Structure 1
Amino acid sequence: MSQESPSGPQATNATASDSTDTSNEHSTLGAYVTGGAEFNRDTNYIEDRITHDGRPGINGEPGWPVEPGRYRLIAARACPWANRAVIVRRLLGLEDSISLGQPGPTHDARSWTFDLDPGGVDPVLGIERIQSAYFRRFPDYPRGITVPAIVDIASGAVVTNSFPQITLDFATEWTRFHRVGAPDLYPEHLRAEIDSVSKRVFTEVNNGVYRCGFAGSQEAYGSAYTRLWTALDWLEERLTGQRYLVGDTITEADVRLFTTLARFDAVYHGHFKCNRQKLTELPALWGYARDLFQTPGFGDTIDFVQIKQHYYIVHEDINPTRMVPQGPDPAGWLEPHGRESLGGRPFGDGTPPGPVRLGEEVSPGHGAA
């Protein structure tokens, strides 16, 4: 079975010092699609957690204490799983506590590179590719070199790449450092429902689009396609009568769905063949997606140019020409959504986040404006 990590193929035996590829040695061809097989995601991550008391993990993993300024979040704009962490960090106001490094939109079979930074080097970690932080901790790390990843700045070693847990810990373990007015994205009385909805969204939608795109046979694709659209129909019905997925405020569940919806028409509809309908043809989901996009902390993290560059250039298995499409026109994301009529309070008793941190803005012409 093909094993693929959230935003990159499995690590190769390349060393951390490898930085410039002058041949096809590190091509991603064959990394994503296995002929005749359905796509199965490798969900084994580095499960270390950063907690308020630095307690060890349930299996004896080392504990990492919450300490402002100690850690750096590495999260490429292109990656939907990393995009979640960027959104939650911004909604909660953790910019002063956890710095942000953003690799460029493409990578080879080794890992993401900091090619957008001066000299191609992350200015805090001093490395050219995130692979180096993984190898600093695990010299023979055998799995996918993925983002998001949190790195211990002093040692330069990766702490965790468990994207589902990172955002939950931002919401529950870093509370001392949340901004005044930060929303409760994981309210205790709704956690069971958030977890249930999020599980279906992950298996059928977040990962469902990848099962379509990386299917190795017509049969595998057909099965994945049916499952995806069954779930999207369920979401369309659910969101017809309520503004948010769970309760009357934005929660973790909305963040998790949003990053897939933001990429749907630009990438998944065509590139991954998820083409029964476009997002813009689903009234409730399209209105919901625009509602969130226009909420501070969501749309201001979306870089459509980098998103398209990542998928269409990196996935040589399904786009060997590596041509990046011009469309679709993103201007529709700013059209009125009318979802206020359903009620709801986006931030509950809290307030919206302030302006995007200087240096973390989406480049002009890369968003919807």
Structure 2
Amino acid sequence: MLLIILVSYHLKRGIGTQHKIIFWKRKKLVDNNVEIFMQSYNLSMPRRYRYTEVKRITNSFRDKLGQGGYGVVYKASLIDGRQVAVKVINESKGNGEEFINEVASISRTSHMNIVSLLGFCYEVDKRALIYEFMPNGSLDKFIYKSEFPNAICDFDWNTLFQIAIGIARGLEYLHQGCSSRILHLDIKPQNILLDDDFCPKISDFGLAKICQKKDSIVSILGARGTIGYMAPEAFNRSFGGVSYKSDVYSYGMLILEMIGGRKNYDTGGSCTPEMYFPDWIYKDLEQGNNNLFNCMTSSEEENDMVRKITLVSLWCIQTKPLDRPPMNKVIEMLQGPLSSVSYPPKPVLFSPERTPLQMPHISSSDSYETNSITLSN
């Protein structure tokens, strides 16, 4: 009996030691990967935190701000008293490629309309991103009235216009202002954060693509983005190649949602003409009814502002990438007079009779990559 106990003890001890060896080998591999990553991108990296530090600043993950398929976001406080948001990544989310991608992309940026990454944690099976805290949360809480009944949904038109301009400036910076061009590829209301003054900041670079400015088309396997915001070429290359113009398309869809206060794509399976807001709004403009503008604005000046924003958005969602304006032109049109914005052709993709976007197995709030089957809210 004693012999059996001793043998069992040594076996367990041996297995435990083996597990420790495997763990430390994995840890060393992860550390090496981070070092290689930092050197390969030649980045001025934000601070790297240990997981124990992340646990401490979040007060053991007590104050939960939100949750999605990609992870959970917690409110936290740094040692100097600054409030931050900590996104703890689900362990099941791939091999860390999206995480590394986000750190690489956002570490290259410094702009008032891009959320600041203050730190990250990357250990064997623990990953987290530490961002500046945005007290007003994400834009979707302010424009989807039916889904967030307690949210402040009555933006005045000047605030809406400033948010639209801010997002456009952030995208123009990603496309032209960085040392390398960054395609976000997942622009949507959930990824636009608002500070105390409702200054918009683009966030969530998990699907971003870094490329050289000279590259007009980028090579991407499968589709990236969110149904309802994905440009036609993102899921069907017959429309063209994926480029910075794909972000322009997503921007146009987002702004139309801001104007209408509703999602542009209904996943309820309805095939009614009301299903597609861009199609409905274009018909209203085409027929000269002005129903949308007259019922939402209180002055001729506001009416012109909303009409201008709408026309610019319709230019952004043109089916052919070449027909969409670059973001610097979008900013120019938004800041110029209404008379300077020409009437856009109808974006044929959004006619309900012909839309190829009916993919009921994927929610309109889901981001995904078809080559990695990665889903996140």
Give the TM interval when normalised to the shorter protein: under 0.3
TM-score, normalization by structure 2: 0.27
Greater per-residue strand proportion: 2
More relative contact order in 1 or in 2 (CA 8 Å, sep 6+)?
Answer: 1
TM-score by length of 1: 0.28
Of Structure 1 and Structure 2, the greater helix share is in 2
